[in-house]
Structure 1
Amino acid sequence: MANFTLEASVADRLNGELHKLHRAALIKREGRSSVSQGPRFVLYDRVQTARTALHHELRQWMGSNLPGAFARSKEVHPLFDLLFFEVAKHWSDDDAQSDKNDAPRACGVEVNSPFNIASDQLPGLQLHPPGRTEWAPKIAPNTWTLWGNSSAVPDLAVGTEDASVADAGYFVGEEMTDYFTRTGLTALLDQLRSNASIAYDNARELHGGTSSRDLKRLRDRTLTTSLDLARLEEDIETYNNQHWREREPQFHLDYTPAVKKLDAEAGRSAFERVDLNKSDRDRQKQLAKEIVAFDARYRDVLSTAASLGASLDARRAQRLATGVSLVSLGVALVTLWVTQETPPNLASLAGQIFDSLRWPT
């Protein structure tokens, strides 16, 4: 885990794009044709591109200096951003205006949801999990955002003489260390589960190979993965059984105050907020069980396939041995025939030999 304190010049990259005058332009998305978009959507595209470029730099540093499971698998590292805006409001707030939400929307933060995710330990902040690709197509997976208005800085940096954004960032980082760990662990389990289906194709390809290299790769992969998963399940159980939550703020998913007000006026039942920390722990246990169960089935299939493959190889060896015997017999007959002073009738000799080999009736 690493904590990056960004210089003001980094913020200027985003601010420069936010305040730049954008015109209509063609926007190209991966796997799609270029589409003409108006100035506002060009703004969103350019700011998200700038933010993603920064993320790429940070993840490259992690991969080079602190390589781990994500670097080995060439997946993006889990990453949390802390963003402060001058004015950013939920669409459901009474005085919210769409033009005031251009900054969070451009950064890939969804403000049009009737829900929010917040913690009492982090006043003034909301947590935005990895969102829909349609909403923020340029933001890479495994990217979380803690966001709020700059007015939240004094409450977060309490106890400091001159509350600054850097102080608030330090407080949030210290307060959420264990939550970062848990989120990274969930991302790792999701990655292992998504890779499980690929294992079938890899096993078929490698098991069908005849080279020693293919068999060695399959053996090493199966052995290493099985040991890692068995240990991972034990570690998750131990980690989740810890009762202290010193650096893991309690997050809840709940309706925004404005939506709650509408529900109360309409006489609808109050929404029961969701304990996201507990949901995450339950999900981790379930994912670990699914992956370990898959690994057991995977190894059973490989064992059966190996047994069948050994049977086929033995049958091929028997056929090869029979063929070699027949060739050797033919060579011996020719040699015997050539070395005789008066070569016998070869056809008659062969017939006598085959008659002697014939099964009795």
Structure 2
Amino acid sequence: MTQNNEFQIAPEELAPATTMSAAIPDFNRDVFCILGLPFDRVSLADAERIARAAVDSRQRCFLSTPNLNFAIACLEDPQFRLSVIQSDLSIADGMPLIWIARATGLPITERVAGSSLFQSLREAALPAGTLPMRVYFFGGPPGVAQAACEKLNAASSSMIGVGYDSPGFGSIEDMSDAASIARINASDADFLVVALGAKKGQAWIQHNLAQLKAPLISHLGAVVNFVAGTVSRAPTWAQKTGLEWLWRIKEEPQLWRRYWNDGLGLLTLLADRVIPLALARRRQMPSRALFDTAVVAVEEQEDDCILTLSGAIGQANIARLRAALQTAARSHKPLVLDCAGLDHVDSAALALLMLLYGACHQAKRPWALLAVKPAVRRQFELYCAQYLLEPLA
């Protein structure tokens, strides 16, 4: 999905809906790294505008909605993490992520829940001559997708249900049979809402993305239950104060173990990564001169594409990094990042490097970082981005 810093989307720049969107990443995305994942700096209104632009132009937008549980799981699951890195829009769906962003000085200030985005799209006024957004529900407990589709059509809104499928609890391959994909495509859905559990749902989307025709696709597990009315969503005050988890446990008591484990995981991350990162940012911020004199260069050699990074790379000189990464992404040669002169890398730079890493991984293109200084290696680790230091063969 293509957008610039002001989130004005040029339809002609968007990837075709029938191709994998991560092939050439959009390096103009305003992204920042939190807990090893890239997050777009967007408001709810921005996300709604991006989603509608995808539908109107019939161009692909794979939307990921990581919350704390999602982010913690991604730390130990490379494929799950790649599903976020290779998505077109990644929104912070959890107040703990916003708190971490604030503590580490990142400009991700608004929680944008996938449920809120769906509801906003549903309640928006339809411009004259505009058809309702066509929604297909895939997944959820038996009967819930059907109920969600029927409830959606029972009330007047900017959405209509055009199909549903409850594939059960089989493997990704079992749920990806040709008949299921054909039913989804035949519905001419604008928005495919998947509800298979976060890991399986993201994997299912990645597995089938090239065959699916719906322009807007996202795993929104709770949405199916909310629309069907089998679970009620937390009141606004709970959503904004970070207490939605208490409401979710009230509605779905079996979730208590997940939230308990998430709480323990958060405490560990605070001690090992977040607090040390916040302290390091206050003590070790590089001078403006180090950003101004930084070198970001791409050179095509006989066997490799060399991306040289030196000095301080980050938000202060991000335009230079965007241009260089765009050039590097167009090459098909093994990518080597020469970091011998690199002294500092911030969250914005790491997030863009993640997009390039995701494209290399998808293209099975070798990737390697060379001569990374110990201090810079520590920066990668504090941002939970140490996996970028590992080579791709």
Instruction: Determine which structure has the larger helix proportion and give its number.
Output: 1
TM-score (structure 2 length as normaliser): 0.22
Higher relative contact order (CA 8 A, sep 6+): 2
TM-score (structure 1 length as normaliser): 0.24
